[in-house]
């Protein structure tokens, strides 16, 4: 049966080959274009991912991938860049192997991207969107926790991480990239020397990694230019403008949520990031549910006031005056 075949093949794949990606790339071109074989291949791939997942989960945090292309709100150029990243991962076998570009790759065939922007501007969501489009698992690695004050430990942590990731073809999402890739100063002692060794080691693994590695930062200006030159894609996540905020507001409430007379144009005047807006929408939903009513403007404005206070932002009372504000 298909299930028995998949079980046997998955076991052989994991034990006999260095990476799942290599095995699947070898299988895919020779598989007959029949529905049964396509189903078998998908089951094989899903089974391989599940078997290798525990290895990575001890080293990185799995992200539950839910967002798709319709959920992302970015300027057109940035959205196109995200599509290009997904396309390159999808077509790398054809371009590198069939079209011979692997012969011209001096450093490696890894695909890397830097996502730069303030907290809440959509960097993690963009990584989710790409992972969902490619059908791959996504793992978050906080570089601030990987970097160790003990000489040699950072490199050891990175080696364990990449070795585990190579088996599953997962997308790696490195948060707080500036923790390791800050502008390098003059080497003055052994710690400075080892810091440079760690940076070079991570760059080498990124370039050799047979998957997609995404690094995120909200401090792009502190990133060493020598590092930026070795990254294939740089995607900037700007603070959303009024038009983008209106779109984010409209996407922030699931279709099942009972809403009533929400003024997207008025809400878009508030200078919030997408992350702030989603937080407000969630809080407003809980407030409305507790009151046994639909989500209305007065409830959303009350949640917006809470968000302003949380962020220590000044509140313009004129924006709230016409509403009956809860907790004002």
- pLDDT value for 327: 42
Query: 105 and 40 in one domain?
Result: no
Q: How far is CA 255 from CA 233, 251, 252, 286, in A?
A: 34, 9, 9, 16
Which string of b and e fits 156-178 if b means at least 16 CB within 10 Å? ebbeebbebbbbbbbbbbbbbbb
Q: Is residue 44 part of a domain?
A: yes
124, 230: one domain? yes
Q: Do 226 and 252 lie in a common domain?
A: no
Mean of the per-residue pLDDT values for the chain?
A: 82
Round to whole Å and give the CA distance between 328 and 323.
10
pLDDT of 271 strictly over 90: yes
- Residue 283 near residue 308 (C-beta atoms within 8 A): no
Q: Are 67 and 190 in a shared domain?
A: yes
324 within a domain of the structure (yes/no): no
Number of domains present in the structure of the chain: 3
Is there a domain that residue 134 lies in? yes
**231-260 pLDDT, tens digit each:** 999 999 999 999 999 999 999 999 999 999
Classify residue 205: in a domain, yes or no: yes
Structure tokens at 229: 């030159």
| CA diameter of the chain | 69
Could you please report the per-residue DSSP string of 154-173? HHHHHHHHHHHHHHHTPEEE
Whether residues 231 and 92 share a domain: the answer is yes
Q: Is the pLDDT of residue 178 over 90?
A: no
CB of 213 closer than 8 Å to CB of 141: no
Are 17 and 123 part of one and the same domain? no
| Cα–Cα distance for residue pair 275/125, rounded to 1 Å | 10
Average pLDDT over residues 288-310: 96
Q: Is 326 inside any structural domain?
A: no
Same domain, 213 and 277: no
Q: Are residues 45 and 193 in the same domain?
A: no
Of 212, 237, 262, which residue is a domain's last? 237
Q: Measured between alpha carbons, how far apart are the two ends of the chain, in Å?
A: 65
Query: Do residue 111 and residue 188 come from a single domain?
Result: yes
Same domain, yes or no, for 40 and 88? no
What span, in angstroms and rounded, lies between the C-alpha atoms of 165 and 153? 18
For residues 79 and 194, state if they share a domain. yes
CATH code for the domain of 79: 3.40.50.300
Does residue 17 register a pLDDT over 50?
no
With the CA atoms of 222, 211, 175 and 198 taken in that order, what torsion angle do they form, in degrees rounded to the nearest 10? Answer: -60
**Predicted local distance difference test score (pLDDT) of residue 232:** 93
Percent of the chain with pLDDT over 90: 48
Whether 17 is covered by a domain: the verdict is yes
The whole domain housing 23 covers 2-52
Rounded CA separation 275/6 (Å): 41
**DSSP 8-class letter at 314:** P
How far are the Cα atoms of 131, 137, 171, 224, 320 from residue 168, in angstroms, in the given order?
A: 13, 8, 9, 30, 51
21, 169 contact by CB (below 8 A): yes
The pLDDT of residue 307 is above 60: yes
- Does 327 fall in a domain? no
DSSP code per residue over 207-267: HH-SSEEEEEES-GGGB-HHHHTT-SEEEEEPPP-HHHHHHHHHHSS-TTS-EES--HHHH
In the block, residue with structure tokens 């020779």: 30
User: End of a domain among 219, 237, 255?
Assistant: 237
Q: Output the pLDDT for position 16.
A: 41
Domain match, 31 and 137 both: no
Asked if residue 65 belongs to a domain, the reply is: yes
pLDDT of 13 higher than 60: no
> Which of 197, 213, 237 represents a domain boundary (last residue)?
237
DSSP 204: H
Element (H, E) at 5: helix 2-16
Q: Per-residue pLDDT tens for 159-172?
A: 888 888 887 778 99
Q: What is the pLDDT of residue 139?
A: 95
Q: State the CATH number of the domain containing residue 299.
A: 1.10.8.60
pLDDT beyond 50 at 98: yes
Region 300-323 average pLDDT = 86
């Amino acid at each position: 049966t298909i299930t028995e075949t998949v079980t046997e093949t998955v076991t052989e794949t994991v034990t006999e080959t260095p990476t799942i990606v290599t095995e699947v790339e070898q299988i895919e071109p020779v598989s007959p274009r029949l529905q049964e074989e396509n189903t078998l291949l998908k089951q094989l791939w899903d089974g391989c991912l599940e078997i290798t997942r525990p290895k990575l989960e001890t080293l990185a945090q799995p992200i539950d991938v839910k967002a798709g292309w319709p959920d992302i709100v970015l300027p057109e150029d940035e959205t196109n860049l995200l599509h290009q990243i997904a396309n390159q991962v999808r077509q790398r076998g054809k371009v590198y192997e069939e079209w011979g570009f692997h012969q011209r790759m001096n450093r490696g065939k890894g695909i890397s991207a830097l996502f730069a922007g303030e907290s809440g501007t959509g960097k993690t969501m963009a990584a989710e969107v790409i992972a969902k489009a490619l059908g791959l698992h996504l793992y978050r690695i906080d570089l601030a926790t990987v970097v160790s004050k003990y000489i040699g430990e950072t490199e050891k942590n990175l080696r364990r991480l990449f070795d585990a990731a190579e088996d599953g073809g997962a997308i790696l999402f490195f948060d707080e990239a500036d923790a390791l890739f800050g502008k390098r100063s003059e080497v003055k002692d052994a710690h400075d020397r080892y810091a440079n060794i760690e940076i070079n080691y991570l760059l080498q693994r990124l370039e050799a990694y047979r998957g997609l590695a995404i690094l995120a930062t909200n401090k792009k200006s502190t990133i060493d230019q020598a590092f930026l030159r070795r990254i294939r894609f740089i995607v900037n996540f700007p603070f959303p403008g009024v038009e983008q905020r209106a779109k984010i507001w409209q996407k922030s409430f699931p279709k099942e949520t009972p809403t009533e007379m929400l003024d997207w144009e008025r809400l878009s005047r508030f200078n919030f990031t997408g992350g702030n807006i989603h937080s407000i929408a969630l809080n407003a939903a809980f407030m409305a549910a507790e009151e046994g009513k639909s989500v209305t403007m007065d409830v959303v404005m009350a949640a917006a006031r809470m968000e302003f206070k949380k962020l220590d932002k000044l509140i313009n009372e004129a924006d709230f005056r016409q509403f009956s504000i809860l907790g004002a």
